[in-house]
């Protein structure tokens, strides 16, 4: 199986299920995909910030959504930005 095709397919599948970049990288690494190939695969999915905003729009802003996003492998910065932009204030 071609690692690049597998990585891209798996990254798209995980991203469509609401996974952040860290979770996608971790899953690909566990499958034996090299870090550089995983990074390239992430370029084929929507940016992490965009994916986080979709989740926040669906679940609503707030601490519960922030914890959910963090658990799904989104970065602290992306979570804070996505939740704050939807709520109109900083998360704190």
Whether residue 80 contacts residue 90, with contact meaning beta carbons closer than 8 Å, is answered with yes
Smallest Cα–Cα separation from 58: which of 72, 44, 38? Answer: 72
List, for residues 25-66, the tens digit of each pLDDT value.
999 999 999 999 999 999 999 999 999 999 999 999 999 999
pLDDT at residue 85, rounded to an integer: 76
Q: Above 60 in pLDDT, residue 92? A: no
Q: Report if pTM > 0.85.
A: yes
């Amino acid at each position: 199986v071609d690692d690049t095709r597998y990585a891209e397919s798996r990254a798209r599948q995980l991203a469509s299920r609401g996974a952040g970049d860290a979770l996608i990288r971790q899953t690909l690494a566990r499958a034996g995909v090299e870090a550089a190939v995983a990074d390239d695969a992430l370029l084929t999915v929507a940016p992490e910030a965009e994916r986080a905003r979709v989740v926040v729009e669906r679940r609503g802003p707030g601490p519960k959504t922030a914890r959910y996003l963090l658990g799904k492998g989104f970065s602290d910065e992306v979570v804070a930005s996505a939740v704050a932009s939807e709520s109109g204030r900083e998360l704190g």
